[in-house]
Chains A and B, each alone.
Chain A
């Protein structure tokens, strides 16, 4: 859908995208991208994919060394191009602490390389408990893929809650003249689309280009390692191309990427509306580029942002062991149940039974697929992970040690090998695995004015 307010076609805009800050890219790709020229460098720095730990703990997903390596090359290139830089989902989950983690690396790179003065914009998307409780009491929080309503207890339990913002707060910051814009949790599409939309480009095409570019080099073949990808918006179409000399963007690679990580590939809902690809047309342009037309955007009647929150579920302790005895392998579940009942009896009244979870993960049978496994047939050896999550690290360690010891010596019916049932690869056999978090908030929050709800701050990097 063309923006009706725009009658004059905006100038074409070239975009360079990096799909994961800190994962690296071939330097030759960056050199070629500079030769072709770009006006925007869009970088995705996070995802929910690595699980709830990074949101729950607030620890960065990628190390400072890795993030700085990428920025050491990308920021000077963007300065030479006089390109805007937009980075979304800072630090992995986009918490306020992770935003500051990446901001401090940015400041360091700009100072070390003398790239300033530059105007840095920051958009914090972490939400406070009072803000969330107000929204909940006003009926502005909708059920989403957790399939249950949000409660005050969820908000109270969450260690961090972030909102995944769309383009509006970014457009406001870019309109204010930010050279580098760093955001907390953001729709990966928005990192690419905010600047083109500010310039007057069509939202449907800008968002669809964002969807294709968000994983960096994944939409080019052959897919090998992390890489950069380029796009150019040209009024009623956009082009996708790879700066890598031995890769190509094909109708198939670009079309296939449109499927990735989404439940419905032609209807992509996001903050503020939905990208509609039903009429989208992919056409080859030469041998290594693709032209895309026909993608449309339907604004939602009410603007929503997705909320992501995680709570501490407990502390994990694990033991890893191999099982090779076929008599034991035939009775895995019976052994596990026997150990569990004995453990409960031994702990007796000293420990509340709901203060820990004990699980036997049998790799080689159904360790990967659990209840979805259609063929839970054990192989000739089994990898056992005794997995304990408890309210305290000490209790997890105690229960794990007890379960490991009971399993090692369990006298199952027909046992011939009376010395021990487990082969431990390590000493100690038990390992602390730290705090365990779980996503407990994954809901939609209605907001009236997204730019006002997530205001930007600026600073000048000298």
Chain B
């Protein structure tokens, strides 16, 4: 399966002008737990997806309270700076949509 078939919300957004933060929200706690146990949505897999090193993925964590996975990274360019491509950081989530997730029961 791919992440967009499992998650209810997959989004990116600025967390201030220098960081972009990613939220992946699942329909329920059980799904979140199954994804966690699959070991396919980790700071390493998202680092590979975005072509950055794992230590550039910040605050990667599972949050049962919000049925969500969240992580952040520094933007390649600050919001609105000369070479920025996405002032709100709202379209950086797309590669996550097709991340393969091997769900275990």
Contacts and interface: CB of A to CB of B under 8 A. Distances in A.
Given A52-B79, A263-B19, A442-B18, A374 B49 contact: yes
A436 B67 contact: no
A277 B70 CA distance: 15
Contact of B14 (A261, A374, A375): A261
A367 B84 CA distance: 10
A256 B80 contact: no
Nearest to B82: A389
Contacts of B50: 372, 374
Contacts of B9: 256
B39 interface: no
Instruction: Output the residue of A145, A263, A264, A442 with the most chain B CB within 10 A.
Output: A263
Contact of A259 (B70, B80, B81, B87): B70
Interface in B50-74: 50-52, 58-59, 61, 63, 65-68, 70, 72, 74
Interface residues of A, number: 43
Given A368-B86, A374-B49, A439-B78, A145 B21 contact: no
A260 B13 contact: yes
Interface string A399-442: 00000000000000000000000000000000000001111001
Instruction: Output the residue of B59, B61, B66, B74 with the most chain A CB within 10 A.
Output: B66
Interface in B10-49: 13-19, 21, 23, 25, 49
B66 A258 contact: yes
Nearest to A308: B17
B95 A442 contact: no
Contacts, number: 128
A258 B17 CA distance: 19
Contacts of A372: 50-52, 76, 92, 95
A372 B73 CA distance: 11
A374 B65 contact: no
B70 A265 contact: yes
Interface stretch (A29-37, A43-51, A201-209): A43-51
Nearest to B89: A49
B71 to A, nearest CB: 8
A370 B89 CA distance: 12
Contacts of B17: 48, 51-52, 145, 439, 442
Instruction: Output the residue of A261, A265, A369, A372 with the most chain B CB within 10 A.
Output: A372
A309 B23 CA distance: 28
Contact of B83 (A48, A277, A370): A370
Interface string A341-378: 00000000000000001010100000111111011000
Contact of A438 (B67, B70, B74, B82): B82
B85 interface: yes
A299 interface: no
Contacts of A282: 65
Contacts of B72: 263
A370 B81 CA distance: 13
Contacts of B95: 369, 372, 374-375
B94 A359 contact: no
B76 A357 contact: no
Given A51-B17, A53-B80, A313-B81, 12 more contacts: A51-B79, A256-B66, A259-B68, A263-B19, A265-B66, A361-B85, A367-B85, A368-B92, A369-B85, A370-B83, A372-B95, A442-B17
10 contacts: A51-B84, A52-B17, A52-B81, A145-B19, A258-B65, A259-B66, A264-B59, A369-B91, A437-B80, A438-B81
